[in-house]
A and B are shown apart, each in its own frame.
Chain A
Amino acid sequence: MTQAPLLSVAGLSKRFGGVTAVDSVEFELRENELLGVIGPNGSGKTTLVNLITGFVKPDSGSIVYRGMDITGMNPYKIAQKGIVRAFQMVRPFYQLPAFKNLIVPLFSPRVKKLAGGKYGDRGAVAKDILEEVGFERDSAVINKVARVLPHGYLKRLELGKCVAMRADLIILDELFSGLSLAEVASILPIIEKLRVDGKTIIMIEHRLRELFRIADRVIVLNFGQKIADGPPVEVMESEAVKKAYLGTETEG
C-alpha cells in the first residue's frame, strides 16, 4: 500500500530573463526518504530549492506538501509548515556566539506551537541542540562568536538551525562543500540520526561518493531539466547522466 507522497512537484518552471533555470521539473518525495539532487553547475539545483522554499516564485507548475498547495507561498510560511533549508552560502549571525545563533530559529512560531508554549531558557535548549549536531558539550567553541568558527562548525550550525526548527523536511544545499573527508565522516551519523527520527531529507550535492552512501534515491538535473530519477546505482549507469557530467566524445 502506497501512502501519499510528502512532497510532490509537478511541471515546475522558472525563467530568469533569457535563461530557463528550471524546466518542467517533476518528482515525488516520500516520507522519511533521503533524496539526492545532483547535476553539473548551473543545472538549476539551487533554484529548485528556492522555488520549493518560496524564496522565488515559479512561472508555472505546482508544489504540494502534505496535500497542501504551497506554490508561491511566502517563504516564512513555508518554513513554519516544516520545510527548512540550510543555505549553500553559509551566513550565520557573525557577531553572536554559536549558541545564540540558534535562538532565532527557537523563537519561531512553529517551535512555540510544537513545544506547547514558551521555552523557559532558549539558550540552554540551543546548547543541547548544538551538542546533537556535533559541538562538544561545555567546550569553549559553543560560546565563540560565529565570526571565528571554522567552516566545519559553521556547517554544523546550519544543520543545527534545521534541528532547532523541528523541521519535517530538511533541505541541505551542498552541506559537504568545503569539508574534509574526516569532517564528512563525522557529519554522516548526524544525518543518519535525523532519518531515524523520522525526518525527510533532500540533499543537493556535488560530492557524489559521500552522497550515494546515504541517499535512497537520486534525481539528476541538467540545464534545468530532470534527466534521471532512481536509486543511486541505477542513475550512475544512465547514459544521459554520463553525457551531462562528462560530455560526449568528439569525432575523429
Chain B
Amino acid sequence: MSTEMRKERIDRAIKARSEDIFALNSYREMLYLLAPRVLPILAALVLAFSVNVYWQRVLISASVFGILAISWDLLVSCGMVSLGQALFFGAGAYFSGYMNHAFGWSPFVTVPLAAILGGAFCVIILIPVLRLRGVYFSMVTLILPLMLERIIEATRILGGTEGITGLTPFPSQWIELFVPFAGVWVALFAARRLMSTDYGLVLRGINDNDRSVISAGINIYIFKAQALFIGASMSAFAGAMMTQIYMFVGMPVFALDYSILPIAAAAVGGIGSFAGAMLGAFILVPLSEVLRGIGGLRIIIYSLSLVVFIVALPEGIFPYLQRKYTQFERWVKVET
C-alpha cells in the first residue's frame, strides 16, 4: 500500500441546496457573500471620478472593449463563436456615423438606432450560416470584416478610405465617460440575467444539444437569430458609441483588434462567465496602454495572451478566482 497526496476541494458552508440559495448564519457570512459583488462596483465608481483625463480615455476604451467581450461571450454561450466581432462593431459604427452625418441627428438618437439597425443588418447577412455547423459561422464572421473593408475601399461609399469625419460628439465629457462605463455594467447584468431565465436555458440547450431542442418542437434557427441579434446589437452599440466619442468612422472600425480582443479578454478572464470577459477586457486594455510605447505590439499581445490562456488556463482567471474564494482546498493523504 502506498500513500499519495491528493487535493481535496470543499465548498464553504454557506450554500444550501442549490446554486442560488444560501444559508447565512452571521453578518460575517453575509459580508463574505456581498463583498465580491458590491466592492467592484464601488471601486469602479470611485475610479471613474478620480482619474485624470488620459486614464478616463483608457476607461472608456476598456468599457467599450468590455461590451464587445461580454457580447462575444454571450454569443458563445448560444453556440456561435464569432471570429469577427469587428463586423458588429463596425456595422454599428457606420450606421451611427452615417445617420449623424447625413441627417444631422444627435448622438442620443443615432447610437441606440445604430445598435438596432447594426444588429439587424448583421443577422440578415449571417442568416445563411445559422443552419450550418458552428465552424462555418466562425469562418464567415472571420472573413466578413476583412471583406467589408475591401468593399468600402473599392466602392468608395461611406467616405471610402478617408471615412466620415466631423461628427457631433456627446455634449459633455462626463457623459462620454459614463455612457460606455454604465453600458458595460448594464451589459454584464443583462447578459447574466438573460442566461439565467428559461429563455436563456433554451439558448444554452441549443448550444449543448440542438437535436434535443429541435425534438422539443422549438425552431432553433429563430432562437439563434434572436440571440445573434442581441449579441450583435450590443457590439453595434459599442461601435456606435466609439464613433460618436471620437467623432470619426472609417475603415479601421473593421480592424482585427476589435475581433481579437474580445476573444482574448474572454480567454483570459473566463469564457462563459460574463464577469470574466469583462475582467479580461479591464486587464488587457489598460495593460496594453501601459506598454503603449510599443504601439503596434498591442495586437500581438492580445493574440499571444489568447493563445497562452486557451492552452494553459482554459477556464480563465475569473473561475479560478471564484474557485479559490468559494472553496477550501487542502492536500489529503490517500491510501491506494
B198-218 contacts to A, CB under 8 A, are: 198-199, 201-202, 204-205, 208-209, 211-218
Query: Bound state CA distance, A85 and B289, in angstroms?
Result: 56
Which residues in B have their C-beta under 8 angstroms from that of A91?
209, 211-212
- A53 at interface (Cβ–Cβ under 8 A)? yes
Q: Is the CB of B205 within 8 A of A104?
A: yes
Cβ-defined contact, A104 with B18, below 8 A: no
- Given A95-B208, A100-B201, does the pair A75, B214 have CB atoms closer than 8 Å? yes
Which residues of B are found within 8 Å of A107, using beta-carbon distances? 198-199, 201-202, 216, 218
Complex partner residue of B208 from A53, A94, A109, A165, CB under 8 angstroms:
A94
In chain A, what residue has the closest Cβ to B201? Answer: A103
Given contacts A91-B209, A93-B205, A94-B208, contact A122 B216 (CB under 8 A): no
Question: Which of chain B's residues have a CB closer than 8 A to the CB of A103?
Answer: 198, 201-202
The yes or no answer to B3 lying at the interface (CB within 8 A) is: no
Residues of B within 8 A of A165 (CB): 216-217
Nearest to A140 among chain B residues (CB) is: B17
Q: Does B68 contact A (CB under 8 A)?
A: no
Interface residue count on the B side (C-beta < 8 Å): 20
**Chain B residues whose CB sits within 8 angstroms of the CB of A87 once the complex forms:** 211-212, 215
Set of chain A residues within 8 Å of B214, measured between Cβ atoms: 55, 75-76, 79
Q: Cα distance A91–B213 when bound, in Å? A: 11
Cβ A84 vs Cβ B209 within 8 A: no
**1/0 contact trace for A78-118 toward B, CB 8 Å?**
01100011010001111111001001111111100000000
A161 within 8 A of B: yes
Distance from A147 Cβ to chain B, minimum over Cβ atoms (Å): 12
A143 within 8 A of B: yes
Q: Is B172 an interface residue (CB 8 A)?
A: no
Roughly how many angstroms separate A160 CA and B220 CA in the complex, as a whole number? 21
Contact B219 A104 (CB under 8 A): no
| CB pair A85 B17 closer than 8 Å | no
**B202 and A79 contact, CB distance less than 8 A:** no
B residues in contact with A122, CB < 8 Å: 198
Interface residues on A, range: 20 to 34
Determine how close the nearest CB of chain A comes to the CB of B15; give it in whole angstroms: 12
A-facing residues in B16-39 (Cβ within 8 Å):
17-18
Chain B nearest CB, measured from A121 CB (Å): 10
Per-residue B-contact encoding for A34-62, CB less than 8 Å = 1, 0 else: 00000000000000000001010000000
Q: What is the bound-complex CA distance between A174 and B212, given in angstroms?
A: 17
Cα A122 to Cα B199 in complex, Å, equals: 11
Give the residues in chain B near A161, CB-CB below 8 Å.
Answer: 212, 216
User: Which chain A residues lie closer than 8 Å to B18 at the CB level?
Assistant: 97, 143
Chain A residues closer than 8 Å to B217, beta-carbon distance: 76-77, 79-80, 84, 105, 108-110, 165
- The complex places the Cα of A103 from the Cα of B217 at a distance, in Å, of 13
In the bound assembly, the distance between CA atoms of A76 and B212 in angstroms comes to: 10
Q: Which residues of A contact B211 (CB under 8 A)?
A: 55, 87, 91
- Is A108's CB under 8 angstroms from B216's CB? yes
Alpha-carbon distance between A91 and B211 when the two chains are bound, in angstroms:
9
Within 8 Å by CB of A93, from B212, B215, B218, B220, lies: B212
Specify which chain A residues have a CB less than 8 angstroms from the CB of B219 in the assembled complex.
74, 76-77
Most chain B CB neighbours (cut-off 10 Å) among A80, A104, A109: A104
Task: Check if A79 sits within 8 Å of B216, measured CB to CB.
Answer: yes
Closest beta carbon of chain A to B296's beta carbon, Å: 41
Taking CB atoms, residues of chain A closer than 8 Å to B213 are 104
CA distance A225 to B335 in the complex (A): 59
Q: How distant is the Cα of A108 from the Cα of B219 in the complex, in angstroms?
A: 9
Complex CA distance for A96 and B207, rounded to whole angstroms: 13
Chain B CB count within 10 A is highest, among A79, A87, A94, A107, for A107
B198 & A53 in contact (Cβ 8 Å cutoff): no
**B209 proximity list for chain A (CB < 8 A):** 91-93
Q: How far is the CB of A77 from chain B (nearest CB, A)?
A: 8
* 7 CB < 8 A contacts A-B: A75-B214, A76-B214, A76-B217, A76-B220, A92-B212, A93-B204, A105-B216
Taking A55-B214, A85-B215, A104-B218 as given, write out 14 further A-B residue pairs in contact, using a Cβ cutoff of 8 Å, ordered by the A residue number: A75-B215, A76-B215, A76-B218, A77-B217, A79-B216, A84-B216, A93-B204, A93-B209, A94-B208, A104-B213, A104-B216, A108-B216, A109-B218, A110-B217
List 10 A-B pairs, minimum CB-CB distance, nearest first.
Answer: A79-B217, A108-B217, A80-B217, A105-B216, A104-B205, A76-B214, A110-B217, A108-B216, A76-B219, A104-B216
